[in-house]
Amino acid sequence: MPLIELHNVGKNYENDGVVTPALAGVTLNIEEGEFVALMGPSGSGKSTLMHILGFLDHLTEGEYRFKGEDVSNLEKDALAMHRRKDVGFVFQFFNLLAKSSVLENVMLPLIYAEVPKAERIKLATKALESVGLGHRLKHLSNQLSGGERQRVAIARAIVHNPAVIFADEPTGNLDTKSGEAILKIFHDLHKAGHTIIMVTHELEAAENAERIVKIRDGKVISDTKNHQRRFGAYHK
């Protein structure tokens, strides 16, 4: 059973009676452990697709099954429950709490998941160590460089061991060197078995994924295996 099954999914935005379609007829399956890049120019609908997959938004047509469960028509609170349990997000602009410490930032999802404090510290420390920031736990997030901030954001996305990690242009706001380091971390996470869905319009970033789904005008225009992975092919 695929982790994610989309069947004929559509999304329309309605504003003052004017209906604007953002997605139409998207059918897509994603298996557990896959590293998928969603590519497309801005306005193509790739972000909308990620929001629907990541339980941030509702679809208006079609069906979405997550781990076999129909999640097409969930209430807002039910979506929130899926977000706290099943997914982790990495954003282009990091979205860290500036005046909070690195550790506090990473512990945030665990607060809503009602994990006891001692356990929170343990899990967050472990997640930060895995992205190479074990020595920066007490720093405030606004004392870090861009690359380090994004690593904190990745630690926050994996701290509760979600089923899928969503990354929205994770290197879009970083210099080349920091961006490379971040892509390497995603590569390693994938190697460790995580399912990753990355939205990007940069080919270089997409080349890390093992599968590239191209989207234009709200439709999937190509869905191909990537045979030239930049950090080298490997077998699970």
Partner 1 sequence: MRFFDLIATSAESLRRNKSRSFLTILGVVIGIAAIIIVMALGKGAQNLILSEVQSIGSKTIAVAPGRHPNGLSDMAAIFTDSLKQRDVELLQKKENVPHLAAIMPLVFGSQAASFENNSYRPTIYGVTPLFSEIYDTYPEQGEMFTDDDVKNQNSVLVIGSKIKEELFGDNDAVGQKIKISNQSYRVVGVLGKKGQSSFVNFDEAIIMPYTVAQKQIFGIKYLNRLVVQADDEVNVAQTVEDITITLREAHGITDPEKDDFFVETQEQAMETVSSITDILTLFLVAMAAISLLVGGIGIMNIMLVSVTERTREIGLRKAVGATYSEILSQFLTEAVMLTVFGGLIGIVSGLVVSTLAAWVLGQFVAGWEPQLPLNGVFLGFGVATIIGLTFGIYPARHAAKLDPIEALRYE
Where on the chain is the footprint of partner 1 (CB under 8 A)?
51, 56-57, 76-77, 80-81, 83-85, 89, 91, 95, 97, 99-100, 108-109, 111-114, 156
Least distance (Å) between residue 59 CB and partner 1: 14
Measured between alpha carbons, how far is 183 from 170 in angstroms, rounded to an integer?
8
Cβ distance to partner 1 smaller for residue 37 or 157:
157
Q: Output the six-digit token pair for 170.
A: 């994770």
Tell me the C-alpha distance between 27 and 150, whole Å.
31
CA dihedral sign of residues 128, 129, 135, 138 = positive
Report in angstroms how near the CB of residue 193 gets to partner 1 at its nearest. 22
Shortest spacing between CB 44 and partner 1, in angstroms: 16
Smaller CB separation from partner 1, 51 or 136: 51
**Sign of torsion, CA 209 166 222 172?**
negative
Q: Smallest distance, Å, CB 31 to partner 1?
A: 24
Identity of the residue, 24 or 81, whose beta carbon is nearer to partner 1 in the bound complex: 81
Q: Select 56 or 137, whichever has its Cβ closest to partner 1.
A: 56
CB of 110 to partner 1, least distance (A): 9
Q: Which two tokens stand for residue 126?
A: 């472990």
Sign, CA dihedral 177-181-182-184, equals: positive
Which of 45/109 has CB closer to partner 1? 109
Amino acid at 235: H
Specify the residue, 27 or 143, whose C-beta has the smaller distance to partner 1.
143
Instruction: Give the Å distances, CA to CA, from 87 to 31, 33, 92, 103, 159.
Output: 15, 13, 17, 19, 10
The CA angle 36-108-119, to the nearest 5 degrees, is 100
Residue 86 exposed, middle or buried by CB count within 10 Å (0-12, 13-18, 19+): middle
Q: Supply the minimum distance, in Å, between the C-beta of residue 54 and partner 1.
A: 8
Distance (Å) of CA 203 to CA 116, 134, 224: 42, 31, 14
